[in-house]
C-alpha cells in the first residue's frame, strides 16, 4: 500500500481507517495526512509532533516511498535538472525553471515515449513504461522536500512522455497537484501538453477544474505533420483541432521551428487560419538538439518574421526563450543517456 498513489480523499480514508483500527484519536488522521503533500516528510520517523511509537508503526504499515535523486544539474540561467532513479532502475527527469517570482516545474509522465516525433530526444529513447501517481506527483514532492524555497508555482506536463497516454495516473496526479490537501496549485497554473490524443483530451475536458491544455502542433497541414509526428496517422490534425474547439477554454499551440520543414510564410498563414478561430495562443520554440540528425533549427531572424506574420493575422504568438540548454534540460531534450548505454551494452553482449 502506497499512500502516495492515492488522491487526498483516498489517502485520508486509508489513514482514517488505520487510525481507528489502532484506537487513536481522530485528529491524528489530519496530522498524518498533511505530511503527504502539504508539508511533506521523507519518513514518518521525522515527524516530531507525533509520538515515537506511532511514527514507527506508520513507517512499518504505511511507509513513504521516495524517488531517489541520481543527479541534479544547475544551469547558468538558474534552471535545475533532476534525474530520478525509480525503484526498478528506470530513470526520468524533471526541470525546474525559475522566472521572476514564478517557478515552473516540467514533469515527466512516462519513462521514454512511444510516439517517436522525429525532433524529440525522448522519442528516440522509445517507450519504457508508464509512471505511477507516486512517481509523477513524487517529482514535485521530492523537490519541495529537498528545498522548500523551490516549491513550484506552476506545473507543465512537458517532460518525458505523453501524459494523455497515461491518463489514469495523470488524472489522479492532477487532483493531488490542485487539491487543498495536496500541493494546492491553482488549476490555471497546471498545463497538460499533448500531441493530440483525442480520448485523453475528452477526459481532461470532462474535469471541472480549469486545467490548461497545450497542443503540440508543429505543422499546420497533415501532409507535412505526418513527416514530423507519426501520431498524425492515428489522430489527424483536423480532429485534434475540432476537439480543441470543444475544450471550451483557450488552448496553446506548441510549435517547434525546423528549417525548411514548417517555417515558410505559407505555413504561418495556414497556422494562423487554425489558431485564429480558437483564439489559440501560439508558442514558437527554437528547435533544440537531440532529435533526428539532419534537422536544422530555424534562424532567430526567420522565427521573428514568422511570429510577426502570425500577429499580423491576429494571432497571439510568443517566441519562447530556451532555458537550461547548457545542461540539456530544454524542452524535448530530456533523454536518459544511461538507458541508451545500458541497451547498447546489452545488445553488444547478446549472442549472435
Residues of this chain that interact with ligand SF4 (CB under 6 A) are 113, 115-117, 120, 122-123, 161-162, 195, 216, 332
Q: Is 18 in the site for ligand SAH (CB under 6 A)?
A: no
Q: Is 291 in the site for ligand SAH (CB under 6 A)?
A: yes
Q: What grid cell was written down for 317?
A: 504568438
- Smallest distance from the beta carbon of 282 to ligand SF4, in angstroms? 17
Measured at the CA of 159, the angle between CA 109 and CA 323, to 5 degrees, comes to 165
Three-class DSSP labels, 239-263: HHHHHHHHHCCCCEEEEEEECCCCC
Q: How far is Cα 185 from Cα 352, in angstroms, rounded to an integer?
A: 53
142, 14 contact by CB (below 8 A): no
Task: Choose between 119 and 183: whose C-beta lies nearer to ligand SAH.
Answer: 119
Q: Is 331 a catalytic residue?
A: yes
- Smallest distance from the beta carbon of 31 to ligand SF4, in angstroms? 40
Task: Choose between 162 and 267: whose C-beta lies nearer to ligand SAH.
Answer: 162
CA dihedral 203, 200, 251, 246 (to 10 degrees): -60
**Matching residue, cell 538558474:** 78
Q: Is 194 in the site for ligand SAH (CB under 6 A)?
A: yes
If 0-12 CB within 10 Å is exposed, 13-18 middle and 19+ buried, where does residue 38 land? Answer: middle
From 19, 136, 201, 331, residue interacting with ligand SAH (rule: CB under 6 A): 331
**Judged by CB under 6 A, which stretch of 45-53, 130-138, 191-199, 299-307 contacts ligand SAH?**
191-199
**Judged by CB under 6 A, which stretch of 82-90, 192-200, 235-243, 306-314 contacts ligand SAH?**
192-200
- Smallest distance from the beta carbon of 254 to ligand SF4, in angstroms? 9
DSSP state string for 78-98: S-EEEEEE-TTS-EEEEEEEE
For residue 138, give every residue at least 6 positions away whose Cβ sits within 8 Å of its Cβ, in sequence order, or none: 4, 65, 66, 67, 84
Task: Choose between 47 and 117: whose C-beta lies nearer to ligand SF4.
Answer: 117
Q: Is 287 in the site for ligand SAH (CB under 6 A)?
A: yes
Task: Choose between 182 and 290: whose C-beta lies nearer to ligand SF4.
Answer: 290
- Per partner kind, with CB cut-offs from 5 to 8 A, the member of ligand SF4, ligand SAH, none near residue 143 is none
Q: Is 180 a catalytic residue?
A: no
Q: How far is Cα 200 from Cα 237, in angstroms, rounded to an integer?
A: 15
Beta bridge partners of 255: 284
Look at residue 329 and give its three-state secondary structure. coil
Task: Choose between 8 and 291: whose C-beta lies nearer to ligand SAH.
Answer: 291
Q: Is 169 in the site for ligand SAH (CB under 6 A)?
A: no
Q: Which of 93, 135, 232, 243 is catalytic?
A: 93
Q: How far is Cα 284 from Cα 304, in angstroms, rounded to an integer?
A: 9
Task: Choose between 124 and 151: whose C-beta lies nearer to ligand SAH.
Answer: 124
Closest chain position to ligand SAH (CB): 332
Cβ atoms within 10 Å of 9's Cβ, excluding its own: 12
Q: How far is Cα 95 from Cα 112, in angstroms, rounded to an integer?
A: 16
Q: Is 181 in the site for ligand SAH (CB under 6 A)?
A: no
- Smallest distance from the beta carbon of 116 to ligand SF4, in angstroms? 6
- Per partner kind, with CB cut-offs from 5 to 8 A, the member of ligand SAH, ligand SF4, none near residue 254 is ligand SAH
Q: Is 44 in the site for ligand SAH (CB under 6 A)?
A: no
Q: How far is Cα 329 from Cα 79, in angstroms, rounded to an integer?
A: 8
Residues serving a catalytic function are 93, 331
Binding site for ligand SAH (CB under 6 A): 119-120, 158, 162, 193-195, 216, 254, 256, 285, 287-288, 290-291, 331-332
Amino acid at each position: 500500500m502506497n499512500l502516495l498513489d492515492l488522491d487526498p480523499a483516498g489517502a485520508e480514508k486509508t489513514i482514517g481507517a488505520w487510525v481507528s483500527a489502532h484506537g487513536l484519536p481522530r485528529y491524528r488522521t489530519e496530522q498524518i495526512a498533511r505530511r503527504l503533500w502539504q508539508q511533506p516528510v521523507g519518513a514518518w520517523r521525522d515527524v516530531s509532533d507525533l509520538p515515537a511509537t506511532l511514527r514507527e508503526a506508520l513507517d512499518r504499515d504505511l511507509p513513504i516511498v521516495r524517488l531517489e535523486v541520481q543527479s541534479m544539474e544547475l544551469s547558468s540561467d538558474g534552471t535545475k535538472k533532476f534525474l530520478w532513479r525509480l525503484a526498478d532502475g528506470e530513470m526520468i527527469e524533471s526541470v525546474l525553471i525559475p522566472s521572476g517570482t514564478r517557478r515552473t516545474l516540467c514533469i515527466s509522465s512516462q519513462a521514454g515515449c512511444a510516439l517517436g516525433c522525429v525532433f524529440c530526444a525522448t522519442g528516440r529513447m522509445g517507450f519504457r513504461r508508464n509512471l505511477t501517481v507516486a512517481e509523477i506527483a513524487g517529482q514535485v514532492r521530492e523537490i519541495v522536500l529537498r528545498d522548500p524555497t523551490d516549491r513550484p508555482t506552476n506545473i507543465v506536463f512537458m517532460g518525458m512522455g505523453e501524459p494523455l497516454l497515461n491518463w489514469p495516473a495523470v488524472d489522479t496526479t492532477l487532483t493531488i497537484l490542485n487539491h487543498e490537501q495536496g500541493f494546492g496549485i491553482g488549476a490555471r497554473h497546471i498545463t497538460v501538453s499533448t500531441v493530440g490524443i483525442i480520448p485523453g483530451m475528452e477526459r481532461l475536458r470532462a474535469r471541472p477544474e480549469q486545467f490548461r491544455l497545450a497542443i503540440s502542433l508543429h505543422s499546420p497541414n497533415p501532409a507535412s505533420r505526418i513527416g514530423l509526428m507519426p501520431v498524425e496517422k492515428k489522430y489527424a490534425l483536423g480532429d485534434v483541432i475540432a476537439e480543441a474547439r470543444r475544450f471550451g477554454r483557450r488552448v496553446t499551440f506548441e510549435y517547434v521551428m525546423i528549417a525548411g520543414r514548417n517555417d515558410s510564410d505559407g505555413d504561418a498563414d495556414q497556422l494562423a487560419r487554425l489558431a485564429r478561430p480558437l483564439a489559440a495562443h501560439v508558442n514558437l520554440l527554437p528547435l533544440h538538439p537531440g532529435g533526428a540528425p539532419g534537422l536544422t533549427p530555424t534562424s532567430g531572424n526567420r522565427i521573428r518574421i514568422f511570429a510577426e506574420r502570425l500577429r499580423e493575422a491576429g494571432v497571439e504568438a510568443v517566441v519562447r526563450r530556451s532555458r537550461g540548454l547548457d545542461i540539456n534540460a530544454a524542452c524535448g531534450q530530456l533523454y536518459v543517456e544511461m538507458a541508451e548505454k545500458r541497451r547498447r551494452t546489452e545488445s553488444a553482449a547478446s549472442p549472435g
